[in-house]
Structure 1
Amino acid sequence: MTPPEIHRVATLDLKVRSFAWPFAAERRVEIDAHFAAKQREKPELWNGRVLLGRNAIHAGDHFSADFFETDFANFLAWRDWDFPDTSVFNGFGMGALRSSDGAFLLGEMGAHTANAGRIYFPAGTPDPDDVRDGKLDLAGSIVREVAEETGLDAADYTMDTHWSCVFAGPSIAMIRILQVELTGEALRLRIEANLARETQPELHAVHLVRSRSDLVPAMPRFVSAFLEAQF
Structure 2
Amino acid sequence: MTSPWGDDWPVDRRIAPVHALDFAFEPGGWPQMDARRAEIEAHFARRAADNPHLWNGPVLLLGAHAFRDGVLSGAFRQSDFATFTYWRDTGWRDEGLVNAFALAAIEGSDGGFVLGVMGPHTASGGRAYFPGGTPDPSDITADGRVDLHASMLRELAEETGLSPADIARDDGFTALFDGPRIALMGRLVFDAPADVLAARIRAFLAAEARPELSDVAVVHAEADLTPAMAPFAVDYMRWRWAER
TM-score by length of 1: 0.96
Once the two structures are superposed, the pairs formed by residues 40-55 of structure 1 within 5 Å of their partners are: 40-55=49-64
| Distance of 1:226 and 1:40 partners within structure 2 | 35
| Distance of 2:39 and 2:192 partners within structure 1 | 48
| RMSD of aligned residue pairs (Cα, Å) | 1.2
2:207 maps to a residue whose letter is R
Deviation at 1:230, TM superposition (A): 1.0
1:176 maps to a residue whose letter is G
Q: Is the 8 A contact 1:23 1:85 kept in 2?
A: no
Report the CA distance shift for 1:115/1:84 in structure 2 as closer, same or farther (over 3 A). same
Q: Is the 8 A contact 1:101 1:183 kept in 2?
A: yes
Instruction: Give the equivalent residue in structure 2 for 1:69.
Output: 78
| Distance of 2:130 and 2:96 partners within structure 1 | 26
Instruction: Give the equivalent residue in structure 2 for 1:135.
Output: 145
Deviation at 1:159, TM superposition (A): 4.7
Task: Tell which deviates more after alignment, 212-221 or 62-71.
Answer: 212-221
| Distance of 1:50 and 1:20 partners within structure 2 | 10
The alignment partner of 1:95 has SS state of: strand
In structure 1, the gaps of 5 or more residues are none
Please give the per-residue CA displacement for 1:86-111, whole angstroms capped at 9, x wherever unaligned.
Answer: 42110000001111111010011011
1:151 maps to a residue whose letter is G
Instruction: Give the equivalent residue in structure 2 for 1:38.
Output: 47
Q: Is the 8 A contact 2:53 2:121 kept in 1?
A: yes
| Distance of 1:56 and 1:216 partners within structure 2 | 32
Instruction: Give the equivalent residue in structure 2 for 1:9.
Output: 18
Report the CA distance shift for 1:56/1:219 in structure 2 as closer, same or farther (over 3 A). farther
| Distance of 2:29 and 2:173 partners within structure 1 | 29
Q: Is the 8 A contact 1:86 1:170 kept in 2?
A: no
1:194 and 2:204 matched? yes
Q: Is the 8 A contact 1:105 1:184 kept in 2?
A: yes
Instruction: Give the equivalent residue in structure 2 for 1:219.
Output: 229
Report the CA distance shift for 1:206/1:20 in structure 2 as closer, same or farther (over 3 A). closer
1:70 maps to a residue whose letter is S
Question: How many pairs does the alignment contain?
Answer: 231
TM-score by length of 2: 0.91
| Distance of 1:110 and 1:65 partners within structure 2 | 32
1:156 and 2:163 matched? no
The alignment partner of 2:216 has SS state of: strand
Instruction: Give the equivalent residue in structure 1 for 2:239.
Output: 229
Deviation at 1:213, TM superposition (A): 2.3
1:214 maps to a residue whose letter is D
Instruction: Give the equivalent residue in structure 2 for 1:95.
Output: 104
| Distance of 2:235 and 2:13 partners within structure 1 | 7
Extract structure 1 runs of 4+ deviating beyond 6 A.
Answer: none
2:80 maps to a residue whose letter is D
